Amino acid sequence: MYTFIKLGGSVITDKAGREAADLPLITRLAAEVAQARAANPGIRLLIGHGSGSFGHHYAAKYGVHRGLAPDADWMGFALTAGAALRLNRIVVDALLAAGVPAVEIQPSAALRCSGSQIVAWDTAAVAAALAHGLTPVIHGDVAFDSQQGSAIISTEQLLAHLTLASDLRPARIILVGEDAVYTADPRAEPQAERIPLITATNLDAVLHGAGGSHAVDVTGGMRSKLDLMWRLVSATPGLEVRLIGARPGLLADALGDGTIDSGTIIRAE
């Protein structure tokens, strides 16, 4: 079984800036991945990351996520793709420096979409990388869209496709981003409480309280992520999704076999 990791764009970059990668944090997270691999050499990892202040700026400026007409100026599409690749190179280089055999795989090269949804993605390269003990690194990306011209496909959508439409069935998906899911926005309401576990019994209440992102995000914010992750755990027996923050050591702990007293777990029970 596999473990999928998603490094949130708002974690590894300053989304309020412009192509502002948090290099010390990326380096530390890469070291924690290397630590987990050393502790469990048999672990098979796939890493995805958001575009943060790299891709989202151009996508929002040019409306790539809303769709581009055939005769529109497609420079924004190219700029968004280029920015996403620049951040991917930073992440992959940090992993390589930490001793992780990371290999970049550009989703848009093999994606076909319609209405901002994936209709086909040749994932043979992803499977081959994993089979050879490599760690494929994918990222939220632009895509050509038969219905609206262009689209942005989020990292969560890519992970969902791998989970539901390929033979790469993960046992765990770890989302490194918000510290946890809360009863309200803890930035605005300090009394908000962490929700340690989401199951069918409290899902509706959690979704009611979930909000969007706090900076430019063309991929939907927290509620859309929770909706998608619930669909995955409902359709994949035994799958557990864990949302954690980027506090030192949390990713390494989450990749281990122990329990951590933070974050939020989503599972079908």
Nearest 10 degrees: Cα torsion 81, 85, 91, 96: 150
CA-CA distance, 123 to 210, in Å (whole number)? 32
Residue 193 lies in a domain: no
Residue at 23 is within a domain: yes
Which residues face 49 on adjacent strands? 7, 139
Go through 159-178 and write b for each residue having 16 or more CB atoms within 10 A of its CB, e for each that does not.
bbbbbeeeebebebbbbbbb
SS3 per residue for the chain: CEEEEEECHHHHECCCCCCCECHHHHHHHHHHHHHHHHHCCCCCEEEEECCHHHHHHHHHHHCHHHCCCCCCCCHHHHHHHHHHHHHHHHHHHHHHHCCCCEEECCHHHCEEEECCEEEEECCHHHHHHHHCCCEEEEECEEEEECCCEEEEECHHHHHHHHHHHCCCCEEEEEEECCCCEECCCCCCCCCCCEECEECCCCHHHHHHHCCCCCCCCCCCHHHHHHHHHHHHHHHCCCCEEEEECCCCCHHHHHHCCCCCCCCEEECCC
Q: Which of 108, 107, 87 is nearest to 10 (CA)?
A: 87
Evaluate whether residue 158 is within a structural domain.
yes
Would you state the pLDDT for residue 215? 42
CB 33 within 8 A of CB 5: yes
Q: Which neighbouring-strand residues pair with 175? A: 6, 243
Q: pTM of the prediction?
A: 0.91
- The answer to the question of residue 188 being in a domain is no
Q: What is the mean pLDDT of each run of 10 residues along the chain (269 residues)?
A: 93 86 97 96 96 87 92 94 96 98 96 96 96 97 96 94 92 92 83 89 82 46 82 93 94 85 88
Classify residue 194: in a domain, yes or no.
no
Structure tokens at 192: 């908000």
Q: According to the model, what pLDDT value does residue 218 have?
A: 44
| Enclosing domain of residue 74 | 11-169+213-257
The CATH number of the domain where 225 resides is what? 3.40.1160.10
Nearest alpha carbon to residue 32 among 69, 62, 54, 7: 7
What's the domain count of the chain? Answer: 1
Euclidean distance between CA atoms 192 and 211, whole angstroms: 13
Q: What does the pLDDT read at residue 246? A: 94
Distance, CA of 98 to CA of 41 (rounded, Å): 15
How many other C-beta atoms are found inside a 10 Å radius of the C-beta of residue 212? Answer: 12
Gap between the Cα atoms of 148 and 117, Å rounded: 11
What is the model's pLDDT at position 213? 43
Residue 219 lies in a domain: yes
Whether 155 maps to a domain, the answer reads yes
Q: Is the residue at 84 inside a domain?
A: yes
At residue 112, the pLDDT reads 94
